[in-house]
A and B are shown apart, each in its own frame.
Chain A
Amino acid sequence: MPEVQALPCGFETLEPFVSAWALPTMQERNARRVAMPMDQIRAFYDAIAPHMEPLLDRFSALSVDHAMSPAEERLFYLGQAFMEVAMAMEYFGEPDVPDGFDRARWQIVKG
């Protein structure tokens, strides 16, 4: 059955970002961040930043063993993706770490 809604009510404006950023692991989110040009990272950051408080309010009311619906889960991953891109936007001004150790040799085992 096709999904009626990609994201929970109130977060519809973030739907264009679901395919790129609703990724379940840090490894995937970091790979997406460094593969994206800065203007696309900025577009996602600017779109989600005003929604972060309602997003965090929503998830703060849910216990860690709460069974998320698919739409809820995508929103959860978008919230984590905001944390992933924040360093690029708020500090580095570029997608990856400037003068950082070779990312190809840096293994994210768990995150």
Chain B
Amino acid sequence: MRGQDGELRAFYNICTHRGNKVVREQPAGNASGFSCNFHGWTYDLEGRLRHLPDAPEFPGLDPCDLGLRGLAVGVWENFVFVHPAGNPPPVSLDDWLGEVKAALVGGPLSKLQPSAIFRATVKVNWKVFHDAFSEGYHVATIHRRSVADAFISKDNPYCHLAAVRLYRHHHIASIVGGNPDHRPTRAEQLVARYGGSKYGVSSVDLFDQLPAGLNPERQPAWALDIVEVFPGFAAHVGVDYCYTYNFWPTAPDRTEWEMRLYQMPARNLGEVIARQYTAVVLRDTVREDVNTTEATQQNLMSGFIQHLPLGLQEVLLRHRYDVVDACVRGANA
């Protein structure tokens, strides 16, 4: 939340009295403060305890020690990150993002505005869920009824990655797109003409707006870069749009998932209509992806599978499991 002083802060949603929630609705919008509806303890936007009902009955307690417990907050482009440790966090957000942040400097992220949000509770481990979006190998099969033809050209039928960069925890891969033989549908023609987002179509004409870190090979048939920030965040970044995934594990086989689409601010109402198409296409296409995950999880849990044969194009999955393994062993934390 942003305080009266303009500063961004994050707090655990836990009343410091008996542990009830101080925000019970969707955590969005404006408020002048927060009140626990159990015993009426009230906090201001800076997290300080402002009202302690029947205070004399709490002898020896200093209200200054009873503010909401804070989390560390960091901002990267349009995204706010929190760290469960208080301030300062064990590693700063800038240090954690490292090369990923550098790669996207000057890119489209800060110009984009949120336009669509989708959520689901999925019965799948967060890593297996992440894996569904981390390669181009699945595009020809899973998306054969939707975007495969727009993305895949005959000289790259398996959607081989155009570039891969592996860092200590994170990684970026460039996904090809803009099949020159794809015959645009009626909607796609309208979207192109009336200022829709360049999802699934060539964006060569806008490459001068790309920072060197996106599509570093300047592959002409480029769609987007998959930017995966370990452990639970991914941003798929195109020339004039971006969509993000947040993976929140709530159990070994359960993930709260959120997808957000960001697009350039519309300059007129025609562009609002044209940009709606990208939101519809991504919504429907990602439902194809997500549908694979629960079956995979069930089979992994069955115990029949001892290992998975990952191909060279599945390098981001291999990297993720290397990083997870190192973190679990305490070698790469």
Contact = CB atoms under 8 A, between A and B. Distances in A.
Interface of A: 26, 30, 49, 52-53, 55-64, 66, 68, 76, 79-80, 82-84, 86-87, 90-92, 97-103, 105-111
A61 to B, nearest CB: 7
Interface stretch (B11-19, B54-62, B265-273): B265-273
A59 B117 contact: no
Contacts of B185: 86, 90-91
B270 A56 contact: yes
13 contacts: A56-B193, A60-B269, A61-B268, A62-B269, A63-B269, A64-B269, A76-B273, A80-B272, A83-B187, A87-B146, A87-B284, A90-B186, A101-B288
| Residue from B122, B193, B269, B276 having most chain A Cβ neighbours under 10 A | B269
Given A60-B268, A60-B271, A83-B280, A110 B117 contact: yes
B120 A56 contact: no
A32 to B, nearest CB: 13
Contacts of B119: 106-107, 109
Contacts of B269: 59-60, 62-64, 66, 68, 76
A100 to B, nearest CB: 4
Given A26-B276, A56-B273, A99 B120 contact: no
Interface string B181-210: 000011110110111000000000000000
Nearest to A58: B270
A66 B268 CA distance: 9
Given A83-B191, A99-B291, A107-B120, 17 more contacts: A26-B279, A52-B186, A56-B273, A59-B268, A68-B269, A84-B280, A86-B185, A87-B146, A87-B187, A90-B186, A90-B187, A92-B145, A97-B288, A100-B291, A105-B122, A109-B117, A109-B119
